[in-house]
Structure 1
């Protein structure tokens, strides 16, 4: 029986809604920091970290002052890391993973050995692909990834051990296996739900993470040097974003209970799956498709600006009033990840003959700022990384179903680093307080209830 169409179930739904709603005024009266945000928009301080740091504003007399955004991995500015490996014409993600996990930049020999270690760990356990992925396909690859992580627990000879050595072993294997899991998960989805041919390639141990993803996802295994380089950049810019982002904080919370690595990383994947977090780049793609379908002459800035105003005024697209890919909880004048990605997106757009598309994204950024300035809104808005990441994925011919899983494939490096830090540095279980707003009630015998 499908209970959702049942009249009594609908009444129960209304009852649950009534008894779950808390008036907004109660939060203010009890000085509760909703979303762990202070009244001035800054985050509530709940921990310390070596791993990553996000700088989007300065506090002057407890007032936020906008600045150009900066992102640091283990104290190194992201732009310096990227400029260094790009100038040397090599991939940067594996070096970034090493830095996040171990806290230091690897020398040439260390990086070579670490790459070999990752390469040797990319294969999934025997029969895992058939039994876990192909026999139980999912329409949502994040769901498939989360379940696969939990099943890998059963293949581990020491799944619950929380010694540093054991956690590092598990972390490296999961980081190496994520590209394989999401690629096979997508192929199963495409075959069983979209009726496409089933194509399963084995990972190539000699390839980088970015190269392996393209190798595994494409039927002919082929990709250009530029494609591999920009996917590598995407992985680097998504690898870490401080301890306060939702999925990293989830990793801290779950790890603080002393649970296993697989449970902690699966929880982080569940967090990233949400449209307010890792799923945002898919919303950008949906919005751009809507603009193309409903905005006549979208290449013309005047027409595009009119349609963007309609979106902001909640009369177009999903009627939320949001321009997806614009604005950020921390960054003000600029998101350093978006700046790095925009620059490389232009190179790929030229190679892919997609300059009209690139100009559309660039104009969305430019015109949204103009609209907000004109309206006199008390908010500084800039492009965030999601504005250009979805565009780059589309130019790479990566299906939208893999956008957020690719984010997870990058961010697991940061999650593992935060998990290690939590277990080594803070043995307290994270348990914030909630204030009950219920009045005490006297229990009624069932015969006395109406």
Structure 2
């Protein structure tokens, strides 16, 4: 098959029919054996798989066995994220580093500890010698998340003590990853643009004294220029993305691998792979793709009826990516509101006004406002649906001039803090058991048939 233009796909395509013939699972089996698909209960709540002190996501309350909607709350180590953000913004400080300290160690740092932690991050920005040349330049990838996962895994080879599970060693690795992931993303993006978009190659070194948000903007722009407003908004986005409970797909993936006793790099690389998926961190790119369809096909963005009609077509799989999904709407936990979306929307409006993009912002608002009634009309689904953070995060990045291929990597740059915190809790926690759920085997028993008799 080597040398064929189809790379053997004709043969593989012929095998698909055989695969389908022997691998169908009757959907009724899930109900028959009480399987909780997606590790979710029948009422939509998550299956309780562990306990954590790190983060909490509140979107409803239960009374007399019934779920009732409520305004969403996101809690970091017992502190409402809205209070956290209000605290550092009122004092005119960047908040991501402070948030990272809180999530890792469980308490807010005093001024001395915060400066020491920021210095530790700054001291670990530099990638290992020849890492960019050997791991990024020599094997460019068209997808920055793919390159990030491979690079995180490759850091194992540059660590003199990669398998030591002592707390001190795990904290060292966590601090290095939090410091290095933004640099890896910036370099992977530059190399991707050079090899796949025919652009000039610029690799910038992080600058001492800059926040993580400032350094990232400095690193990904050819001229190193950014505004204070852009840096503050990116810092806010990173704080909002840093953690979302132990049950989200990527954090759970990190905890599953960590429960096996594997190394930090393997666990975090798995989390990166999870976040890449369009049902998780990749959703912000799908939102922007969906809005390109809406902006192109809807003639009057201010006409609610035209927008509503188009959203119905999306749900009926008549347009868009034909998935039948309105990206950026709905969440597994949040009902009345996603606090991250509420905060980001406020700053998105302010930025849209300064950028002359208020009409586009109002189109996003229209989709948020109209989607619940469209879901009710088209699918008869009358459950409470709110905008999630993905609806506005991509638009904010767009207004800041950040390319789409960086949207999900930006998510990863922030969420690596939560992953490391959950990794530390899983490895050093009281459970100390490998995570191993059960699957019901439904294949009937049968005898082996000799080759000549098949």
TM-score bracket, shorter-length normalisation:
over 0.9
Superposed, which structure 2 residues align to 1:358-373 within 5 Å? 358-372=361-375
How far apart, CA to CA, are the structure 1 residues paired with 2:345 and 2:11? 53
Structure 2 stretches lacking a partner, 5+ long:
none
Confirm or deny: 8 A CA contact 2:372 2:382 kept in the other structure: no
How far apart, CA to CA, are the structure 2 residues paired with 1:86 and 1:21? 54
Q: What is residue 443 of structure 2 aligned with on the other side?
A: 438
Q: What is residue 337 of structure 2 aligned with on the other side?
A: 334
Q: What is residue 448 of structure 1 aligned with on the other side?
A: 453
Bigger mean CA deviation after superposition, 67-76 or 347-356: 347-356
**Structure 2 residue 56 is the aligned partner of structure 1 residue 60:** no
Q: What is residue 135 of structure 2 aligned with on the other side?
A: 132
CA positional deviation for 1:378: 2.5
Confirm or deny: 8 A CA contact 1:4 1:10 kept in the other structure: no
Bigger mean CA deviation after superposition, 307-316 or 68-77: 307-316
Structure 1 residue runs of 4 or more that deviate by more than 6 Å after TM superposition: none
CA positional deviation for 1:369: 2.9
Confirm or deny: 8 A CA contact 1:98 1:104 kept in the other structure: yes
Q: What is residue 161 of structure 1 aligned with on the other side?
A: 164
Q: What is residue 354 of structure 1 aligned with on the other side?
A: 357
CA positional deviation for 1:354: 1.5
Confirm or deny: 8 A CA contact 1:273 1:279 kept in the other structure: yes
Q: What is residue 96 of structure 2 aligned with on the other side?
A: 93
SS of structure 2 residue aligned to 1:193:
helix
Per the normalisation by structure 2, the TM-score is 0.96
Confirm or deny: 8 A CA contact 1:161 1:167 kept in the other structure: yes
How far apart, CA to CA, are the structure 2 residues paired with 1:98 and 1:69? 24
How far apart, CA to CA, are the structure 1 residues paired with 2:130 and 2:10? 46
Bigger mean CA deviation after superposition, 379-388 or 312-321: 312-321
Confirm or deny: 8 A CA contact 2:287 2:327 kept in the other structure: yes
CA positional deviation for 1:304: 1.8
How far apart, CA to CA, are the structure 1 residues paired with 2:246 and 2:416? 13
Task: Please point out which of 414, 418, 421 is paired with 2:418.
Answer: 414
SS of structure 2 residue aligned to 1:55:
strand
Tell me the number of residue pairs that the alignment of Structure 1 and Structure 2 aligns: 449
How far apart, CA to CA, are the structure 1 residues paired with 2:128 and 2:44? 46
Superposed, which structure 2 residues align to 1:190-205 within 5 Å? 190-205=193-208
Superposed, which structure 2 residues align to 1:34-433 within 5 Å? 34-372=37-375, 377-425=381-429, 426-433=431-438
SS of structure 2 residue aligned to 1:72:
strand
Name the CA shift for 1:167/1:286 in 2 (closer, same or farther; >3 Å). Answer: same
Name the CA shift for 1:133/1:4 in 2 (closer, same or farther; >3 Å). Answer: closer
Write out per-residue CA displacement over residues 109-137 of structure 1, whole angstroms, 9 at most, x where no aligned residue.
11111111101111111111112111211
SS of structure 2 residue aligned to 1:283:
helix
Bigger mean CA deviation after superposition, 59-68 or 189-198: 59-68
How far apart, CA to CA, are the structure 1 residues paired with 2:373 and 2:441? 44
Structure 1 stretches lacking a partner, 5+ long:
none
CA positional deviation for 1:63: 2.0
How far apart, CA to CA, are the structure 2 residues paired with 1:303 and 1:40? 34
CA positional deviation for 1:254: 0.1
How far apart, CA to CA, are the structure 1 residues paired with 2:56 and 2:21? 40
RMSD: 1.3
How far apart, CA to CA, are the structure 1 residues paired with 2:410 and 2:426? 25
SS of structure 1 residue aligned to 2:197:
coil
Confirm or deny: 8 A CA contact 2:60 2:69 kept in the other structure: yes
How far apart, CA to CA, are the structure 2 residues paired with 1:312 and 1:10? 30
CA positional deviation for 1:274: 0.6
Per the normalisation by structure 1, the TM-score is 0.97
